[in-house]
């Protein structure tokens, strides 16, 4: 498997609805074999971007390319015939695409719907509908699977199952492009993320890069002396003062004993030293706060 | 300004696949059977039941005003079958087929099934053509069922009335079947186009029925006074379909004939007009779906 080949990409992808810019020059790259998290709040432009990628809607400008022979997708909720059973719905899609009925059974099993497969779609719970949508996306073993908010409307157990399924798909070599407004979800299962807000792609990188690695959190008094020691060890730019007065040092976790020793030798009282990782949530809020300083977005007509 | 998804597809094979898919979902849809059942019930009722009741009880009713008993019996025998088979089509047959077409095309937008289908890489033109092919299959099946039922009833009447069995000529049956197919197919496909335009069945069915049942009749009334309106009505679908049927079953001179059956234009011209509507509806539906945003 080629690790770093591009399976889907967009270039300056833009969609304007009436004077409102829904997607603003988004350029993103999804690589083969990864779980790509497309992260942003509701209304950020995630679904619109994915729709353009799949050719459901036309871009106002820019382009999208998908280099996969087979693509599976679940976009903005599952759309099925209410009067047909789950199984018959999938069989209809299988006929459209020239797949065998055995493929229907395989994907029904994959999402644990075999037993309820003959029930009508309209009687399904929200979670079952969502799972049937994922089953449709899995048909034909696609190289690229696009899942738009797949855990929407699921209960906690259903969410956990869905995440496990995504992880499992990636382990099997399939590329998954997953949109989500849940940071914990993306942090847990994605390799790379694209952060989108207000139609703009703010950042695209690995989860680890985005979080900026481990920092050492130090609470010590008196503060000025502690700060001097910290800056000597971590460098002038390697120290950040958190809101609660603690210091965040850009040092690896195994530097903790050295930091403690240096602080004690300088006569500083050490209250706490912990290895802390920034959550994606903190990064995200920092990033979107920064974005807001750009002021109101200019209208495109 | 492009979205490219690599696809390897032979369009003909893709259309055949989508036809199978649409047939699978349509044949299990109660709405389809209700619509087709309504056609059969209405055509039996107006084609045979009322005529038979009038014939046996001696009362004359609105469906057969002024016709003599001998005429009534002749209509109900197998030789009259090709006409009875056709006469309900311009009016309620067409209306019901338009409802069916609008349902087949329009509901997929509200349910999100077109979105699901297209997002999985199914090409749009073959999908629409397959959907139209499946709809056409139902139109043909309806005609076959209708023909069989009509023939069965007329044979039953022949036997119960002690008449000799004289079958209609094959030519007249084929002619009626062909004309019936053109008329029902045109309305079904116009319904399909309306359902596609409106992205739903409700508005398209409503407007389509008002057009077919009311507006064209009113325009024909105005046409009697204004020459250019009359010229316009001659190319409208209802007039063309009614004239096509009228050219085969004949139109009563006193204007009390079957509603919708006309002699406004000649049979050949009417058939061509109807065929043009069929083609236009197919091409317009495919082009519209190909170009639009589906979300």
Q: Containing domain of residue B97, as a range?
A: 11-291
A78/B116 Cβ within 8 A = yes
A54/B117 Cβ within 8 A = no
Is residue A212 left, alpha or beta, with left meaning phi > 0 and alpha meaning psi from -120 to 50?
left
Residue-range domain boundaries for chain A: 6-210, 214-277
Q: Are B54 and B60 in contact (CB under 8 A)?
A: yes
A233 lies within 8 A of chain B by CB: no
Q: Are B294 and B114 in contact (CB under 8 A)?
A: yes
B120/A83 Cβ within 8 A = no
Distance from CA of B162 to the nearest CA of A (A): 48
Question: How far is it, in rounded angstroms, from Cα A179 to Cα A13?
Answer: 17
Question: How far is it, in rounded angstroms, from Cα A182 to Cα A98?
Answer: 36
Residues of chain A found within 8 Å of residue B128, distances taken between Cβ atoms: none
A66/B6 Cβ within 8 A = yes
User: Which residue among A58, A77, A146 places its CB closest to the CB of B3?
Assistant: A58
Residues of chain A found within 8 Å of residue B18, distances taken between Cβ atoms: 95-96
Question: How far is it, in rounded angstroms, from Cα B231 to Cα B39?
Answer: 31
A80/B112 Cβ within 8 A = yes
User: Which residue among B21, B294, B295 places its CB closest to the CB of A95?
Assistant: B21
Q: What CATH architecture applies to the domain A214-277?
A: 2-Layer Sandwich (3.30)
Alpha helices (H) in chain A, listed in sequence order = 46-53, 86-97, 101-110, 126-138, 156-171, 183-189, 207-211, 223-234, 256-265, 280-292
Task: Tell me if B203 is assigned to some domain.
Answer: yes
Q: Are A112 and A121 in contact (CB under 8 A)?
A: no
Task: Tell me if B1 is assigned to some domain.
Answer: no
pLDDT digits (tens, 9 = 90+) for B95-108: 999 999 999 999 99
ipTM for the assembly: 0.88
A63/B116 Cβ within 8 A = no
Q: What is the CA radius of gyration of chain B?
A: 21
A98/B5 Cβ within 8 A = no
Please state, as a whole number, how many other Cβ atoms lie within 10 Å of the Cβ of residue B197.
18
User: Which residue among B24, B127, B293 places its CB closest to the CB of A57?
Assistant: B293
Q: Are B175 and B149 in contact (CB under 8 A)?
A: no
Q: What CATH architecture applies to the domain A6-210?
A: 3-Layer(aba) Sandwich (3.40)
Q: How many domains is chain B built from?
A: 1
A210 lies within 8 A of chain B by CB: no
Residue with tokens 């109101």: A296
The continuous run of DSSP H or E covering A24 comes out as strand A20-26
User: Which residue among B5, B8, B117 places its CB closest to the CB of A96?
Assistant: B117
Q: Are B47 and B75 in contact (CB under 8 A)?
A: no
Task: Tell me if B108 is assigned to some domain.
Answer: yes
Task: Tell me if B3 is assigned to some domain.
Answer: no
Show pLDDT as tens, one digit a residue, over chain A (301 residues). Answer: 445 689 999 999 999 998 899 999 999 999 999 999 999 888 899 999 999 999 999 999 999 999 988 899 999 889 999 999 999 999 999 999 999 999 999 999 999 999 999 999 999 998 899 999 999 999 999 999 999 999 888 888 888 988 999 999 988 889 999 998 888 788 888 999 999 999 999 989 888 888 776 788 899 988 888 999 988 888 888 888 877 788 888 888 888 899 999 999 999 999 999 888 777 777 777 777 665 544 444 333 3
Q: Taking the model in full, what pTM does it have?
A: 0.86
Is residue A190 left, alpha or beta, with left meaning phi > 0 and alpha meaning psi from -120 to 50?
beta
B113/A79 Cβ within 8 A = yes
**In DSSP terms, which residues pair with A219 in a beta bridge?**
A272
């Amino acid at each position: 498997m080629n690790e770093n080949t591009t399976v889907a990409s967009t270039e300056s992808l833009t969609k304007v609805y009436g004077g409102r810019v829904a997607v603003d020059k988004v350029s993103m790259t999804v690589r083969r074999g990864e779980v790509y998290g497309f992260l942003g709040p509701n209304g950020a432009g995630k679904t619109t971007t994915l729709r353009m990628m799949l050719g459901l809607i036309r871009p106002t400008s820019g382009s999208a390319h998908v280099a996969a022979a087979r693509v599976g997708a679940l976009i903005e909720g599952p759309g099925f015939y209410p009067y047909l059973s789950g199984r018959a719905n999938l069989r209809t899609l299988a006929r459209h695409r020239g797949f065998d009925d055995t493929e229907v059974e395989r994907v029904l099993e994959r999402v644990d719907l075999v037993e309820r497969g003959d029930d009508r779609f309209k009687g399904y719970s929200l979670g079952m509908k969502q799972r049937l949508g994922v089953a449709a996306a899995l048909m034909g073993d696609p190289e690229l699977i696009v899942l738009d908010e797949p855990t929407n409307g699921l209960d906690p157990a259903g969410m956990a199952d869905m995440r496990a399924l995504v992880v499992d798909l990636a382990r099997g070599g399939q590329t998954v492009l997953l949109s989500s407004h849940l940071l914990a979800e993306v942090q847990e299962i994605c390799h790379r993320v694209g952060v989108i807000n207000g139609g703009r792609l703010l950042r695209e990188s690995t989860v680890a890069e985005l979080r900026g690695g481990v920092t050492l959190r130090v609470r010590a008094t008196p503060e000025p002396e502690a700060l001097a020691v910290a800056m000597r060890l971590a460098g002038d730019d390697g120290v950040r003062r958190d809101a609660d007065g603690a210091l965040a040092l850009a040092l690896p976790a195994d530097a903790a004993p050295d930091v403690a020793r240096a602080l004690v030798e300088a006569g500083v009282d050490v209250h706490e030293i912990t290895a802390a990782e920034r959550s994606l949530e903190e990064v995200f809020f920092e990033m979107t706060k920064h974005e807001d300083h750009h002021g109101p977005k200019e209208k495109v007509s | 300004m492009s979205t490219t998804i690599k696809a390897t597809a032979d369009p003909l094979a893709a259309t055949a696949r989508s036809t199978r898919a649409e047939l699978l979902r349509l044949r299990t849809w109660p709405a389809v059977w209700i619509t087709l059942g309504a056609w059969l019930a209405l055509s039996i009722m107006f084609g045979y039941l009322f005529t038979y009741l009038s014939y046996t009880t001696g009362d004359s009713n609105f469906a057969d005003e002024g016709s003599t008993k001998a005429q009534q019996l002749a209509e109900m025998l197998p030789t009259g079958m090709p006409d009875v088979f056709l006469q309900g089509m311009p009016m309620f047959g067409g209306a019901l087929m338009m409802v069916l077409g609008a349902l087949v095309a329009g509901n997929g937008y509200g349910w999100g099934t077109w979105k699901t289908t297209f997002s999985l890489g199914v090409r749009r033109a073959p999908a629409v053509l397959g959907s139209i092919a499946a709809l056409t299959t139902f139109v043909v099946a309806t005609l076959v069922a209708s023909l069989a039922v009509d023939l069965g009833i007329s044979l039953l009447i022949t036997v119960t009335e002690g008449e000799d069995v004289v079958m209609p000529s094959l030519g007249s049956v084929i002619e009626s079947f062909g004309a019936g197919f053109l008329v029902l197919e045109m309305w079904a496909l116009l319904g399909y186009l309306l359902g596609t335009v409106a992205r739903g069945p409700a508005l398209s069915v409503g407007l389509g029925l008002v057009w077919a049942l009311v507006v064209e009749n009113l325009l024909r009334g105005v046409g009697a006074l204004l020459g250019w309106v009359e010229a316009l009505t001659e190319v409208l679908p209802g007039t063309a379909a009614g004239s096509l049927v009228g050219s085969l079953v004949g139109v009563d001179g006193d204007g009390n004939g079957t509603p919708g059956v006309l002699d406004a234009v000649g049979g050949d011209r009417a058939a061509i007009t109807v065929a043009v509507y069929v083609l236009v509806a197919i091409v317009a539906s495919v082009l519209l779906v190909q170009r639009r945003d589906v979300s």
